[in-house]
Each structure stands twice: as C-alpha cells, then as structure tokens.
Structure 1
Amino acid sequence: MFNDGIPQPELLENKANKQHNGRQILSAKELNILSDRSNSKGLVHLAGHLAIAGCSGYLWATNFGNWALAIPALIVYGFSLASMFAPMHEGVHRTPFANNHLNDAVAWCAGVLSFYNSTFYRHYHKWHHLYTRVPDKDPELTDMKPSNLGKYLLIISGLPWWLGKIRGHFRAALGQLNDCPFIPDKAQKEVIHSTRWQLAVYAAAIAISITVNQPWFLLYWLLPLVVGQPILRFILLAEHTGCTLDANLLTNTRTTLTLWPVRFLMWNMPFHAEHHLYPSIPFHALPKAHQQLREHFVYVCWSYLKVNWDIVTKSGQSAF
C-alpha cells in the first residue's frame, strides 16, 4: 500500500503522535546492524558508478554525428556526472566507507564532478537534518518553491541551481560567509580553502582545454552536467516537496520507489525518509531498512513521475 496522495487527517494525526519516539522504531541492536559501514561495498559501488560514467562518456565522445547513439550516451553520461551528488552526500555523512579519510576524499572529488563543494555542504546539510522542514531554520526551505507551473519548469531546468552554485562558490572563495549561519566561525577557513582548491581544479581544466585548443571542458563536463541536472532536479524535488512543514520525520520526508538504475546512480537516496530517520545507515543498507520502516511513513510513492505530477497539479499549496 502506497501513501503517495494527500493522507487522511487521522493518518497524519497517528503519525504525529509517534513523532516523539520515531527514532525508537528500531532497536539499538537492529540499528547497529544496519549501520555497519563497509569499505568494500562502498568501493564496488563507486567503481560501478565511475564505469557507467566512463563508458557513456566514451560513447558520447566517439559518436559525434551518430546522434541516435550519441544523444542517449550524453544523457546517461550527464546524469552519471550530476548524480555524483549522491556519493558526495553519502561521504558528507561519512557512511559509505568505514574509513573516514576515504569518505572525505570521495565526497570532495564527487563534489568537484557534480559542482558541489563537500566541505560547505557538510555544514549546510547538517542544519538540514537538524531542522528538516522547520520554517526559518531548514536552509533548504530558502530554495525556490514550485508554486506554479512556470516556477516548476524553471527549477527543473537547473538554471536557479547553476546561478546559486556559481554565486555561492565565488562568495565562499572570497570569504563572504556572513549569510551562512550554519557554518561555524571555526570552520570558515576550511570551507574557504576547500572552495578555492575546487575552483582551481576548474581553472586548470579550462586552461588545459585552451592550451590544446580542444573544447574538452565544455564537451565532457559542462554540457553533460547541464543535460544531467534536470534529471537530478526531478529526483531531488520529490524528497520533501508537499510533505509536512514540521519536525516530524515520519511525515516531512518522502521515500520514492523507482527503477534499479536510478537507485544505483543515486546510491539508494530514493529511500529518503529512511535516511532522514536514521542518518547513520549507509546507502547499501537502506533497502533493508525500508522493509522494516515503510509502514511508519506517511509519504511513500511508487514513482517520480507520480510525485512530480502531484507537485504540478497541486502547485500553490502552502505545504510546498
């Protein structure tokens, strides 16, 4: 049974009554088993993700003119780059690998590929988990809302994301972090240095492209990421949009059931309600956690198409 529509008032009331002990659904022993981290599982998954990116990127690079093959390859390659957001996100939580140095290194490199800075995101995301869907506290609530079709399409295009990331990266590199209350003073220097190193990587890639007179930076990073971002926006929009604006982790986050390739490239992030309820559970254990927790969540939907259709048709509601 899927609770993807507007829940009945009594269902929301029942879930609200469980809010105080939501994180007590699993026993300490069950949570300890599910939270077991694994270098091998993380590295195998990362290798698979990189293999998809490498193969699709090769097909894109070697089939210009054969658009029947090149365009699908570009779409897969673009999404495999954009979805590097997922290992960046997991690494920020330090759950995909047992070794925290490996978690941090993979998070930073995946952030470079997906145009996120993992050091900045670690602090931003910590507040998102502390204050999920709490007005004036959750930093994600400052993002544009899909309150009408035009805004929905603008969000899906990725344009606001690009503008926000470009502005945010340069402001961080210049040390302009006064509007980022989630970054403590003692962490600002680390965020600034990390962002500067990331921008230096992009500058070096651009310089190499210019030096060899080849549009490598444009063709193999910028264009594919532009193509892949709308797919990622389509997925991420489903995580909380339309859920309750309160601190109840059983009602403020949505799990979306989807195809295995999407789950793979997103590192099981579609099991998002499970992740928010128990952030210590690594990506590889989230499907098992879903089996144990799904009946407790209000929002479990059977597809991203359904969620996005609901977002469009119900746009303008204050819950968004």
Structure 2
Amino acid sequence: MRQTDLESFLAVVRHGSFVAAARERGLTGSALSQTIRALEEDLQVRLFNRTTRSVVPTEAGDLLARRLMPALADIRASLDEVRSLGGRPSGRVRVNAPAPALDWLIVPHLPAFLHSYPDIAVEIFEDASNVDIVAEGYDVGIRLGLEMAQDMIALPLGPEQDYAVVGSPAYLEREGRPDTPQDLTHFECIRHRFPSGRIFPWRFRAGDEDIAIVPRGRLTVSTARHAVEAAVGGTGLARVALPYAQNALGEGRLVRVLDRFTPRLPAWHLYYPSRRHMPPALRAFVDFFAKAAR
C-alpha cells in the first residue's frame, strides 16, 4: 500500500468523481479505478458506493478519509521539512481563494514568489464558496474578514475592501440615479451568482442600519470583470470590488453611485490550519504574501 494510492483515494473522496480525481492525479480513469479496487481488496472492505451519477464513501471509506487527511498532511509536512534542511524551502502549496483576492493580492506577486523559491510549487483554485480547506485538501485559504473555522490561524491580507455600485453615464442619463439603496428596485441590476448558486447580495449601511438587497435584473454573471464590461456597455448597474472598476471610473466610462451608503468591508484574511509543524513551503508562502499584499 503506497502513499500515492492513499492520496488517490482522498482525491476521489474530495471530488466525488473518479473522472475529476483521475484528472487531478494525472491518471487514466481505469488506472485510478484499479488502484481503488486494490485498496478495497487489501483492506477487505468496500470504500465507495458507486452509481452512474455519484461516488459516495461508505462508512469505512469515510472513516479512512477522516483519519488519513491529517496523517498524510503530517507526513507531507515532515518530508518537506527534511528536504528544506538543505537550505531552501520545498514542497507544494494549494491555495483556495475568491477571484478578487487572487486578481489583486496573489497573482500579481506570484512571479516574484516563484523566482524567490524555485523548489516550491503553487496550485491556485478560484472559489468563493464556504469551503473546508482541510477536508478539501488545501493548505491555505483566503476569505473576507474572519469568515473561517475557529481553529484556523488568520492574518490580514491587504487593506479593507471597498465595493462600488457603478453605471455608465449613458445609462444614468437615460434612467436617472438611485438616491437610496431601496431605489435599486426600479433599476436594471447586473447580478453575480456564486458557484454555490446563491446570488451575491448588495450590502449597504444607512446610519446604524445594515441593508442587504438581492438585486433584480435580466443579466447574471459569474465574474466581476464581465459585470464591469456589461455596466460600461449600458446594461445596468453593477456592484463590484473597486479595483475592477477603477480604470473605467478614471476614464469616465463608469460613474459611481450610492457611495455614501457603501461601507468598507473587512480586509481579506489569509488563513491556514493550526498545526504542530508548519510545512516550510507554507511558512514561506504565508510570510511572503503577508508582506507583499500590504
């Protein structure tokens, strides 16, 4: 029974799919299926219930996965620590973060990080859902504020966040401007749907009152960049993290509205599990980006 076989087993658990797990592991579907069958024969127990639509761990498979995840994480950390005794941190860092954090705080600094640490590999996963980074096999996550499990270590990453409601001059001239957040019910809004299926609510503050509005509109997108493009084209109003609209605002292609009702949101936070031994690659990643994203 090899460590790579156990890693493949966990990949199937994470994805709930042999196809997706095989893609992650760089294997063919038949090779991965054979690996799982061999594990089941060796353990004398079924690990998955398979149907044409799903792959779900059995009670034994769930128990094995829960025990293996922290154990293999410790093994990987120990091996990376030993490799790093040569003077350079090495290993892999898997990062889960929403698009705005990646676009403005991580990706611009990746070339410098990879140049500084040639023995570290980085995998980036764009995700805005509320994910359990330990269960899903990630080393570090990034979310707004402190929206994460309590047993995590969190560090602020960059400044507080400013979200802006914007529209094109032509649209505002044609439809007028909203004076309060409640006026948005009379405007065409460009909605943003999360991968979970939930529509991104627009949040405002009037005095001491917090207001959350689920916008109405005919256009729904999954990225802020598409929302900005649609707003520039006069489709309606969009609410996006300010950096996405900064250029268009500076060039006069977009105008900001309702800014006095738009509070600043907590800064992005980089977070990771509290472990007895922190892998050197993860330590290098955390230290580098905590400084670079200031």
After TM superposition, the score normalised by the length of structure 1 is: 0.22
Bigger share in strand = 2
Q: Which of 1 and 2 has higher RCO (CA within 8 Å, sep 6+)?
A: 1
Larger Rg: 2
After TM superposition, the score normalised by the length of structure 2 is: 0.24
Bigger share in helix = 1
